[in-house]
Structure 1
Amino acid sequence: MTAVQNTWRVFGASVTGKAHLDKDIACQDAHAHAVVGGVLLAIVCDGAGSARLSEQGAQFVAAQTVQALAGRLEQGATVQDLQDGALAATLAQIRAALDDIARAADATLDDYAATVVGAVMGADTGFFFHLGDGLAVAQLGDGGELISLPANGEYANETYFLSGERWREQLRLLAIPQAASGIVLMSDGCMPFAMSKNNGGLYAPFMDAVQGYLRTVDSVGLGNAALASTLADPRTHQITGDDKTLLLALRA
């Protein structure tokens, strides 16, 4: 592994929320990441609670999106190429593959419904890609934060999924125009305690402690275990019953 590929340390955990623990339902969140030539690829997917195979959908979309984008970068694509259309084309291919899986399983594409919130971040510029709820934050070099906010539908608890017929018009890209010291992706289950009021920024009392620890931990494995333990703390059950996923990429 080259030195440039070590510019990011990436930590992530997906844990089952109380509502699913009580009903013995598996976590329907998933996350994945890769670093290719110094470019960070990261994604969090949240399976729809109403979709019977959403756990599989979230896992498939997360893993396949990162794998496909990594392949494009390895073949010479740039961050700008991905932003200019290759990202949307990749999601279209993954959606088609998921449709094939659904047909083979005598299911529908909606059975695998999942949201998407992800980041592509190079040395100096990048972008968020976002479909549905969840949230993304870029911690910028000047100390500011760039936030990609959740998108919800017309009704309470309604959001958008890759399986939806209008997914292309609901897909949002947000340019990150400068270097970032950190990228934070989360499912909506983390937002009540990881974000400040009205999602105006990261909630410093929680996030500063988490990131401070992760910057000093000896291994990514230990960091992931500590992050999972933090998210699974029963005290979070008083705040949210939802599954919780948090992915943090820290520039080394």
Structure 2
Amino acid sequence: MAASEIGTAHIANGSVCEDSCWALVEPLSTGQSFLSMFVSDGAGSAAKGGEGAELAIEAAAEFLTGKLRQGEFGFSDSLATELVMAVRDRIYAKAAADGLKARDFACTFLGVLSSPSGTLVFQIGDGGVVLDVGAGLEVAVTPMSGEYANMTHFVTDEDAIGVLATKVYPDPALRAAVFSDGLQRLALNMATNTPHDPFFTPFFNGLARATSEQEQQLQPLLVKFLGSAAVNERTDDDKTLALAVRPT
């Protein structure tokens, strides 16, 4: 399941939620399951940041559909680079068509691909990926910050491929979470860059125990949580959370 919810700061200034997300499990031709999760956070300083985030998710989903249609492929740094290039091409094309700069669509981009043959994590910008591949929850990639406070890297940056961080695991993800920077202070111990387990445990347990009927209720509950006073007291930013549990 996955959801994005507007932050109180955006409500106050009359803007919209500029986060976008994707989470899907689909069957492979082998009968095995393939998990894809993407999160993108539009830059508040960019005129079209929210649109850039939507374009990033759309481009990533289309790229993956094409890859899966071609058949088997390996998880690698080169696959992450291909994915990011597809996202960049979509955003740059839109910017050119609208007579704007790619920077006007600046957004972060991060996510997870996982199947029984392994797991790939990729990230440009802040936000985080927490997952368990058999040894407990871990932060796959250190969230990126820029040269100054409240700055980060974006998929639209000229050096985006150079700053792209990836991590490949030989095993499938048993539990995975991808989130935008609006949830970092709730989801991570920022001093040690480790997952705050009490934040994730209720979500993972709920997913693992849900019946097929209850699964339909989980996404609205996630939206309610993201917009709750308990969350808004800790962050005024847009917040996105995508979650998955592999059945045992």
Output the TM-score relative to the length of structure 2. 0.90
Paired position in structure 1 for 2:112: 119
Alpha-carbon offset, residue 237 of structure 1: 1.9
What are structure 1's unaligned runs of at least 5 residues?
Answer: 1-10
Matches within 5 A, 1:204-243: 204-217=197-210, 218-243=213-238
Which letter does structure 1 place at the counterpart of 2:68?
A: L
Separation (CA, whole Å) in 2 of partners of 1:84 and 1:237: 36
Alpha-carbon offset, residue 205 of structure 1: 2.3
Paired position in structure 2 for 1:190: 183
Contact 1:146–1:176, Cα closer than 8 Å, also in 2: no
Are 1:143 and 2:133 matched, yes or no? no
Separation (CA, whole Å) in 1 of partners of 2:49 and 2:152: 14
Alpha-carbon offset, residue 145 of structure 1: 2.5
Change (3 A) 1:68 1:219: farther
Output the TM-score relative to the length of structure 1. 0.89
Contact 1:42–1:66, Cα closer than 8 Å, also in 2: no
Separation (CA, whole Å) in 1 of partners of 2:136 and 2:92: 42
Paired position in structure 2 for 1:96: 89
Farther off after superposition, 56-65 or 216-225? 216-225
Separation (CA, whole Å) in 1 of partners of 2:192 and 2:53: 24
Which letter does structure 2 place at the counterpart of 1:34?
A: L
Paired position in structure 1 for 2:246: 251
Alpha-carbon offset, residue 135 of structure 1: 0.4
Which letter does structure 2 place at the counterpart of 1:135?
A: G
Alpha-carbon offset, residue 107 of structure 1: 1.6
Q: CA RMSD in A?
A: 1.7
User: Of the candidates 33, 42, 54, which is equivalent to residue 37 of structure 2?
Assistant: 42
Paired position in structure 1 for 2:10: 20
Alpha-carbon offset, residue 97 of structure 1: 2.4
Separation (CA, whole Å) in 2 of partners of 1:225 and 1:75: 34
Separation (CA, whole Å) in 2 of partners of 1:207 and 1:22: 29
Contact 1:126–1:176, Cα closer than 8 Å, also in 2: yes
Are 1:52 and 2:47 matched, yes or no? yes
User: Of the candidates 9, 12, 30, which is equivalent to residue 20 of structure 2?
Assistant: 30
Contact 1:124–1:180, Cα closer than 8 Å, also in 2: no
Change (3 A) 1:13 1:100: same
Are 1:62 and 2:52 matched, yes or no? no
Separation (CA, whole Å) in 1 of partners of 2:192 and 2:220: 26
Give the secondary-structure state (helix, strand or coil) at the position aligned to 2:243.
strand
Matches within 5 A, 1:125-136: 125-136=118-129
Paired position in structure 1 for 2:66: 71
Aligned residues: 240
Contact 2:175–2:246, Cα closer than 8 Å, also in 1: yes
Alpha-carbon offset, residue 142 of structure 1: 3.1
Which letter does structure 1 place at the counterpart of 2:207?
A: L
Which letter does structure 1 place at the counterpart of 2:3?
A: A
Give the secondary-structure state (helix, strand or coil) at the position aligned to 1:51.
coil
Give the secondary-structure state (helix, strand or coil) at the position aligned to 2:52.
helix
Alpha-carbon offset, residue 86 of structure 1: 3.2
Contact 1:31–1:63, Cα closer than 8 Å, also in 2: no
- Aligned-residue sequence identity (percent) comes to 29
